[in-house]
Structure 1
Amino acid sequence: MVYYRSVGDVPPKRHIQHRDPEGGLYREELMGEEGFSSDSALLYHQGVPSALTNSVVWELSDQSRTPNHPLKARHLRLHDLDFGAGADAVTGRRLVLGNNDVRIAYVVTGTDASPLYRNAIGDECVYVESGAGTVETVFGVVPYRTGDYVLVPRATTHRWVPSEPSRLYPIEANSHIHPPKRYRSRFGQLLEHAPYSERDLHGPGEPLLVEGTDVEVLVKHRAGGAVVGTTMTYATHPFDVVGWDGCLYPYTFNVDDYMPITGKIHQPPTVHQVFEGWNFVICNFLPRKVDYHELAIPVPYYHSNVDSDEVMFYVGGDYEARKGSGIDLGSISLHPGGYAHGPQPAAIEASLGADRFDESAVMVDTFAPLELGEGGLAVEDPAYAWTWAGGTT
């Protein structure tokens, strides 16, 4: 995170006695990144946060990955995935794409709350394609709505509580996810050239206290290099934090609060960046005015992504560069490193003279090859890779 917050009841100094009205001692927990060398928060628990009564295997959904071989562009129709009735935001996820740095999933929920969940592998950035509800966390409640990114730090116990069916696009890192370094001062403040500010980041406003005993929490973690799951049972409910402070906490950021950067000629994808993790970045392409040079070509030029794979998730409008390719709302395009890609041939001429694009997409660029998960393989359009050969189609 990039700025300090204090919520609920905290003592005037760190690491001193902090007692409840009856004289009982609250238990202080330091939750910190990078071995006490980066952002952290101090949480004050009514119970003992490490008091387990049981630990058993949680069998995850299919986490297998299939290499993109032979190498080609892919089109995945996520809206064709079947989730059945009553899927929840955690156990209902289906793996779409992944590598050893990041995993991209998709889930369509009903209105049932998810189990309590903690990702001990890395931060999660969940894009809300549609829907609304709340994310209950050990830090408090974070409401979500269509267009939100929900940022959940590694090892944060939480659960999703939809108030309406929700389409969610979880991006699970093996690292932390932050605003790009170039947007921040050396002390962490978002700078004037950043396309958003601290006012746009919304964290919990008050503690969430829940009573309970023998409470199960699903934990995703690593074992032998594999992604695995464990169900941990806690003696008391993890949501027993009376107060916390620090620079590490869950928050939301809505795409409507992102200020697109435009120019006289076509701008590179980096101007659309919103977050970054280890070996990947997250960008969003949003409704915006486009290039105003008299000879401008508003759609992207062809480019060889020699160092990265590019994943576009199309969530709004009619994406100009993909017209004629079969891409529609809910589609993913995967353009792997190793060959040139760009607009459909007919889209170039069609874009000339445009002054605005009404389109929305979330892009993940990875610096290691992506492989296909079972969810991606289930909804692939096998004709997509050959659509550029159709000339004006």
Structure 2
Amino acid sequence: MPYYRSVGSVPPKRHTQHRDPEGRLYYEELMGEEGFSSDSSLLYHRGVPSGIVDSQVWELPDQSRTPNHPLKPRHLTLHTLFPDPGDGDGACPVEGRRLVLGNNDVRIGYVVTGTAPSPYYRNAIGDECVYVESGSGVVESVFGVVPYRTQDYVVVPRATTHRWVPAEPSRLYAIEANSHIAPPKRYLSRFGQLLEHAPYCERDLHGPGETFVVATGSDDDPRDVEVLVKHRVGGQVVGTRMTYDTHPFDVVGWDGCLYPYTFNLDDYMPITGKVHQPPPVHQVFEGWNFVICNFLPRKVDYHPLSIPVPYYHSNVDSDEIMFYVGGDYEARKGSGIGLGSISVHPGGYAHGPQPSAIEASLGAEKFEETAVMIDTFQPLDLGEAGIAAEDPAYAWTWSGRHTGETDTGKHGDDGGPAVFSNS
């Protein structure tokens, strides 16, 4: 995180005695990145934070991956993966996530929740950035409570014990890194402050305002609390169920620059230009070997001869993953793209608009679409959910000729090429 926060009760000097009103010593925990050499926070617990009483295997959902081979663009319909949650029925926000795409740097999952809280959970592999497609609730953590709402990014640092408590069914797009996730370095001063040219600032980042209150000895302070831990063994993603002697949310205070926070798309200020702007101007976060961008409603190019839709482009160094979450996609009629769709445009393949869409875009003053994009710098494989959600006709829509597998009719079949104003 680029700035310091202090919440709850902390002593005047770090690594000094801090006691409760009865004189009992609180237990200080340093949660830090890069071996004491990067951002950290100090937390003060009532119980011993390392006190576990059991450790068992947690069998994760299917984590298998299938290469994108033979190479082709793909269209994945995420809204077909889960039934409508109705009056609260739905999947667990953590255990119900299905793997859509992944490589050794990042995994993309999707889940439609009910209103039941998730188990206590910790991702020890990397930071998580969960985009809330729809819904609201809170994320409880060792740092306190962070509310979430539609169009929020919820950024949870690696190894933060937390749980999701939906107030209503929520559609969650989970980006799980094998690294840390942070604002792009070009947005930051050498001291970590967000600069004037950045499309958002510290005021837009919302962390916990108070600690999670657990009354000692009450029903809210149980012993033997299970925490699901995601970690790696031999390069494989695995899970462990750790049982703790005391409640993990027994923190009375903390301070530092590492904590979970939310950032809402409404607070992102799109950067526009006289001619079509490339995707890096839409970047919001970065991790190791991937970036996250968002394309939002905005005014478009104002050169008198500008072409608002993108030029054809080859992703020679990256796979481009676009998740369509809002707006009107009439321009993509015939491709099947709509709300809840993911387009996968892999490295080594050129994509862009249909010729008729180029002419049709001339004179446009504003785009209304909303999308979240992930660019990875290593090829992405398909997870089991990606395979289950694939529209097999998509790859052939630019040519207007269906080759190989054909669509079953769920998206129509008028052969029109695909175009999206932002991709």
Q: TM-score, normalised on structure 2?
A: 0.91
Question: Which residue identity lines up with residue 230 of structure 2 in the other structure?
Answer: K
Structure 1 residue 277 corresponds to structure 2 residue 287: yes
Q: Secondary structure at the match of 1:388?
A: coil
Structure 1 residue 221 corresponds to structure 2 residue 225: no
Q: Which residue of 1 is the match for residue 158 of structure 2?
A: 154
User: Separation in 1 of the partners of 2:304 and 2:376?
Assistant: 34
Check whether the contact 2:53–2:224 (CA below 8 A) recurs between aligned residues.
Answer: yes
The structural deviation recorded for 1:322 is 3.7
Deviation readout 1:101-145 (Å, 9 max, x if unpaired): 000000000101000000000000000000000000000000000
Q: Secondary structure at the match of 1:42?
A: strand
Structure 1 residue 373 corresponds to structure 2 residue 377: no
User: Separation in 1 of the partners of 2:140 and 2:9?
Assistant: 18
The structural deviation recorded for 1:324 is 3.5
Structure 1 residue 240 corresponds to structure 2 residue 250: yes
Change (3 A) 1:392 1:237: closer
Structure 1 residue 259 corresponds to structure 2 residue 269: yes
Change (3 A) 1:231 1:387: same
Once the two structures are superposed, the pairs formed by residues 1-393 of structure 1 within 5 Å of their partners are 1-82=1-82, 85-210=89-214, 211-319=221-329, 322-390=332-400, 393=417
Change (3 A) 1:150 1:290: same
- Among the aligned pairs, what percent are the same residue? 82
The structural deviation recorded for 1:345 is 3.3
The structural deviation recorded for 1:350 is 1.7
User: Separation in 2 of the partners of 1:373 and 1:326?
Assistant: 21
Q: Secondary structure at the match of 1:165?
A: coil
User: Separation in 1 of the partners of 2:416 and 2:389?
Assistant: 26
Q: Which residue of 1 is the match for residue 406 of structure 2?
A: none
Deviation readout 1:320-376 (Å, 9 max, x if unpaired): 764432100000000000021112333222211110000000000000000000001
Question: Which residue identity lines up with residue 172 of structure 2 in the other structure?
Answer: L
Check whether the contact 1:322–1:347 (CA below 8 A) recurs between aligned residues.
Answer: no
Check whether the contact 1:97–1:371 (CA below 8 A) recurs between aligned residues.
Answer: yes
The structural deviation recorded for 1:209 is 2.5
User: Separation in 2 of the partners of 1:179 and 1:307?
Assistant: 21
Check whether the contact 1:57–1:230 (CA below 8 A) recurs between aligned residues.
Answer: yes
User: Separation in 1 of the partners of 2:356 and 2:76?
Assistant: 22
User: Separation in 2 of the partners of 1:344 and 1:380?
Assistant: 22
Question: Which residue identity lines up with residue 4 of structure 1 in the other structure?
Answer: Y
User: Separation in 2 of the partners of 1:213 and 1:302?
Assistant: 59
Question: Which residue identity lines up with residue 127 of structure 1 in the other structure?
Answer: Y
User: Separation in 1 of the partners of 2:293 and 2:140?
Assistant: 26
Q: Secondary structure at the match of 1:54?
A: strand
Check whether the contact 2:102–2:380 (CA below 8 A) recurs between aligned residues.
Answer: yes
User: Separation in 2 of the partners of 1:57 and 1:156?
Assistant: 19
User: Separation in 1 of the partners of 2:77 and 2:276?
Assistant: 28
Change (3 A) 1:332 1:142: same
Question: Which residue identity lines up with residue 317 of structure 2 in the other structure?
Answer: D
Check whether the contact 1:325–1:344 (CA below 8 A) recurs between aligned residues.
Answer: no
Check whether the contact 2:90–2:112 (CA below 8 A) recurs between aligned residues.
Answer: no
Q: Secondary structure at the match of 2:138?
A: strand
Q: TM-score, normalised on structure 1?
A: 0.98
Check whether the contact 2:335–2:416 (CA below 8 A) recurs between aligned residues.
Answer: no
Check whether the contact 2:291–2:375 (CA below 8 A) recurs between aligned residues.
Answer: yes
Change (3 A) 1:320 1:40: farther
Q: Secondary structure at the match of 2:262?
A: strand
For structure 1, list consecutive stretches of 5 or more residues without a partner in the other structure.
none
Check whether the contact 1:3–1:247 (CA below 8 A) recurs between aligned residues.
Answer: yes
Q: Secondary structure at the match of 1:261?
A: coil
- The structure with the largest strand share of the pair is 1
The structural deviation recorded for 1:388 is 0.5
Check whether the contact 2:127–2:158 (CA below 8 A) recurs between aligned residues.
Answer: yes
Q: Secondary structure at the match of 2:396?
A: helix
Q: Secondary structure at the match of 1:199?
A: helix
Check whether the contact 2:299–2:365 (CA below 8 A) recurs between aligned residues.
Answer: yes
For structure 2, list consecutive stretches of 5 or more residues without a partner in the other structure.
215-220, 401-414, 418-423
Check whether the contact 1:320–1:359 (CA below 8 A) recurs between aligned residues.
Answer: no
User: Separation in 2 of the partners of 1:153 and 1:380?
Assistant: 31
User: Separation in 2 of the partners of 1:89 and 1:6?
Assistant: 29
User: Separation in 2 of the partners of 1:323 and 1:40?
Assistant: 48
Change (3 A) 1:320 1:300: farther
